[in-house]
Amino acid sequence: MPNVIETHRLTKHYGQMCVVNSVELRVPQGSVYGLLGRNGAGKSTIIKMLLGLVQPDYGRAEVLSEDVATLRPETRARIAYLAEGHPLYRWMKIRDTVRLVQSFYPRFNALLMEQILDHFELSPNRKIRRLSNGQRAQVSLGLAVAQEPELLILDDPTLGLDTVVRRDFLESLIQIIQRAGRTILFSSHILGDVERVADRIGVLVDGVLRVDCPTEHFKESVKKIILEFDGHPAEFPACPGLVNQWQVGPNTEIVVVGFNGEHQALIESLGPRRMEVIELNLEDAFIEYTRGPKRSLPLFVGEPATC
Amino acid sequence: MLAALLWKELREMAIFTATALLVYAYFLTSLLIPGYMTNAFMDTSAVIGYLFLSGAIAAGFAMRQTVNESKQGTFQFLLNRPVSRHWLIGMKLLVGAGLYLVVAGLPVMYYAWRLATPGNYPGPFAWWMTAMAWKAWAAGTVVYLGAFLSGLRPGRWIGTRLLPLVATGGAAVLIALMPWWWATGLPAVVLLDVLLARNIFHVARTRDFS
């Protein structure tokens, strides 16, 4: 599968702070890629660099096989972008916004836009400033989808939406995904959302892409192990794959990536009374992984990437 | 596409334009004395008043076009559209500068018409009698572009960001009062306008819209 997005050592500093550090991102065609990270991890900056809104200090990015620094308008017409917070002109009516956006895209599907507005029960005569956050998100999603893009980039699309609206938004997104051949890159810090729609994830920690693999693989790779001791809990020795450890009463709890025979042997050498391996959902796996020490083992499946 | 952009820019400026016209109308009422008119536009203090007013309106137009987009985050909505950034910014400049020239030119035209109407002014009317006002009008374009640059470029407001606006404001006063204007003032206006427009396009191309 060719890559729709490729970055090479993409780097960005704000002042002295490195917010994106040598990121090698590959988004295969047809995939739904969830870009995860805590606040300030660099998700939005990467997305903006992919769209040419932010200039990288070093490295480069290619979208639809074209360097973003020289992205032609024809290529840009194949990309739809939902910016964080769904910025729209507040003085416009929905109808005006649709007309404005439509004028840029020869392939704009006006009928689909009408159907989406109808689905969300939004009258085209409504003023944007009178819409709730959720409704603005729905209008933005409709505008993006009606462009019939090959690549849809969404920057934290569900931020600020209540649970019901968020669920509705995601259902719509899933319907869009089912339209063949479309690639979606979206950032989020709501892990439940990502788990529902993304087939591949990338995890950014302090601007560094630490994980790039299928969602299921990440969940299966990160495990929490509780070791119960009779007396004082033993400290788990440093080893490849150890993300974090802490002592809770008589227990030592460790988080490891890629639990294997070496980990098993080290555990046995400590002689715990009991051992319990806990499978984590995406949210727990993400939390345990990102709050661990920075040296946590990178996870890349597919094309190798240096980090 | 360009028509849609033009409509959007014009519609966005509608309230500012209407307000500017009202302000000019109020300004004119102070110059138009019923029954007896002097040529106020030959009086330096009235022209300076017109220049300051026009400078403020030009700066207001430019700020409306730039700061408003930044504050609402709509630069992100606009700049990822499939059209070159030059066109998007160029359309803004065209609409903003065009509106300024029309709106600021109207009161001078109206005043000239009143002067030229028999019975209003005790003497024959000639266009050179409004020349000082037209010089101030032209100098206003420099303020417009300086304010546009201030609104567009990143930086601290109380610092380098306001610098282009402050500098062009000072330059506009000097330009309007320059002697041998056609040989000095006009080339200065053209040169500054070209340099500022180039700088605006450069900033639009290279700055981060984050």
CB A204 within 8 A of CB A211: no
The sign one gets for the Cα dihedral B16, B20, B26, B29 is negative
Predicted confidence at residue A304, as pLDDT, reads: 44
User: What is the DSSP secondary structure assignment for residue A156, as one 8-state letter?
Assistant: S
Q: Which of A147, A172, A206 marks a domain boundary?
A: A206
Its domain, for residue A98, covers 3-206
Kindly state whether residues A133 and A232 are assigned to the same domain: no
Question: What's the pLDDT score for residue B96?
Answer: 97
Q: How far is CA A105 from CA A119, A181, B119, in A?
A: 22, 19, 58
Rounded Cα distance between A70 and A73, Å, is 9
Give the pairing type, strands A66-67 and A79-82: unpaired
Is A304 part of a structural domain of the chain? no
Exposure on the CB side of residue B12, measured as CA atoms within 13 A: 26
Q: What's at B36, amino acid-wise?
A: Y
**Does a structural domain hold residue A106?**
yes
Task: Classify residue A274 by burial, with Cβ atoms within 10 Å: 0-12, 13-18, 19+.
Answer: exposed
Task: Express as a percent the part of chain A with pLDDT over 90.
Answer: 44
Torsion of CA B12, B17, B23, B29, to 10 degrees: -160
What domain count does chain A have? 2
A224 part of a folded domain? yes
Evaluated on CA atoms B36, B40, B42, B44, the torsion sign reads: positive
DSSP state letter for A147: T
Q: Show which of A206, A240, A257 is a domain's final residue.
A: A206
The pair of structure tokens assigned to A115 is 């159907």
Question: Residue B30 corresponds to which amino acid?
Answer: S
**What size, in residues, is chain B?**
210
Report the Cα–Cα distance between both ends of chain B, in Å, rounded: 25
Residues on chain A touching B79 (C-beta within 8 angstroms) = 52-53
Residue A307 has pLDDT above 60, yes or no: no
Amino acid at B184: T
| A125 within a domain of the structure (yes/no) | yes
The pair of structure tokens assigned to A92 is 């416009």
Task: Give me the residue from B4, B5, B208 closest to A55, CB to CB.
Answer: B208
Q: In this structure, is residue A212 part of a structural domain?
A: no
To which H or E segment does residue B140 belong? helix B131-152
Give the minimum alpha-carbon distance from A88 to chain B in angstroms, rounded to a whole number: 6
Same domain for A252 and A196:
no
Let me know whether A167 and A276 are in one domain. no
Average model confidence (pLDDT) across chain B: 90
**Of the residues A182, A206, A230, the one at which a domain ends:** A206
Residue type, A273: R
Asked if residue A178 and residue A98 are part of one domain, the reply reads yes
- Say yes or no for a CB contact (<8 Å) between A87 and B206: no
Same domain, A101 and A199: yes
Confidence of residue A55 (pLDDT cuts 50, 70, 90): very high
Contacts of A77 in chain B (CB under 8 A): 82
Residues 6+ apart with CB under 8 A from A279: A219, A220, A223
Are B208 and A81 a contacting pair at CB < 8 A? no
Q: What share of chain A is helix, strand, coil (3-state, %, to 5)?
A: 30, 30, 35
Q: HSE of A56 in the Cβ direction (CA atoms, 13 Å)? A: 24
Are A67 and A61 contacting, i.e. CB atoms less than 8 angstroms apart? yes
pLDDT of residue B173: 92
A284 and A155 in a single domain? The answer is: no
Percentage of the residues of chain B whose pLDDT score is greater than 70: 96
At A198, list the tokens: 């993304």
What is the predicted pLDDT for the residue at A297?
55
Average per-residue pLDDT in chain A?
87
Residue B16: predicted pLDDT: 95
pTM of the model: 0.87
Do A43 and A104 belong together in one domain? yes
User: Do A156 and A284 have their domain in common?
Assistant: no
pLDDT at A295 over 80: no
Confidence at A229, pLDDT banded by 50, 70, 90: confident
Same domain, A119 and A238: no
Whether residues A100 and B76 touch (CB distance < 8 A) is answered with: no
How many CB contacts within 8 angstroms connect chain A with chain B? Answer: 67
A48-52, A165-169, A197-201, B84-88: least confidently modelled range: A165-169
Question: Does residue A79 have a pLDDT over 90?
Answer: yes
Q: Does A85 reach chain B within 8 Å, measured CB to CB? A: yes
Establish if A247 belongs to a structural domain. Answer: yes
Write out chain A residues lying below 8 Å of B77, CB-based.
83, 87-89
- What pLDDT, in 10s, does the model give residues A85-129? 899 999 999 999 999 999 999 889 999 899 889 988 899 999 999
- pLDDT < 50: residue spans in chain B: none
CB atoms within 10 A of CB A178: 8
